Amino acid sequence: MSLPLEQPVLVLNRLWQAVNVCSVRRAVGLLFTGHAQVVYNDDADGFQTFSFGEWQDFSEAEPHADSIAAVSFRLRIPRVILLLAYDQFPRQEVKFTRHNIFERDKNICQYCGGRFDRRDLNLDHVIPRDRGGPTNWENIVCSCIPCNTRKSNRTPREAGLNLITKPRKPKWRPFIQVSFGVKTHDSWKHFIDVAYWNVELGEEKG
């Protein structure tokens, strides 16, 4: 249908934690069936929630350019909705990706402890691949280019290097999974840390 119906809406569970993103079309459906309410931040009164009927009345009383037209009324586009019967986080495994390894190691070389721009970091196999070292969470670390060059195709001990932390699979999970193309709305800022948007990348096993 029209483009506004495909715009992203932030979804909160009933504990007011960000858990997903859906389209305006889906959000309106959840509102209409009573499964969700609109969350609206009024600078004067703070965050308020609206049922479908209440949001419809509000939309008519406070017209806004960001609205969608129905047969007999106009409805303001909701930007954040609150699920009324869901208090969990979606169960998602942490993707084994280049980006998430940088996230886990906080852009810190695991041999010298320096913090670097990602373009100045490599991903290093602690146990070299040609010695049977696997490509997994427990054998891949961030390494700066000088340390990576020094280590070469050796173990850390052979290269006179020590690991700062033993690499492990992260226990954190991204709150929400979203593609790079999604533009966040100002009203989302209270509920999300924008850094989480870039956590989930495609599978990258190399």
Domain-wise residue ranges, the chain: 3-90+175-198, 94-171
The CATH class given to the 94-171 domain equals: mainly alpha
List, in order, residues 6 or more apart from 35 with CB less than 8 Å away.
83, 84, 85
CB 80 within 8 A of CB 187: yes
pLDDT tens digits for the chain (206 residues)?
346 788 889 988 888 888 788 889 999 999 999 999 999 987 777 889 999 999 999 998 888 888 888 777 789 999 999 999 876 655 556 778 888 898 889 899 999 999 999 899 999 999 999 999 999 999 999 999 999 999 999 999 999 999 999 999 887 554 444 444 456 677 887 776 544 444 443 333 33
Helices (DSSP H) in 110-202: which residue ranges?
145-151
Q: Which of 112, 161, 110, 157 is nearest to 137 (CA)?
A: 110
CB 108 within 8 A of CB 102: no
Distance of CA 76 to the CA centre of its chain: 26
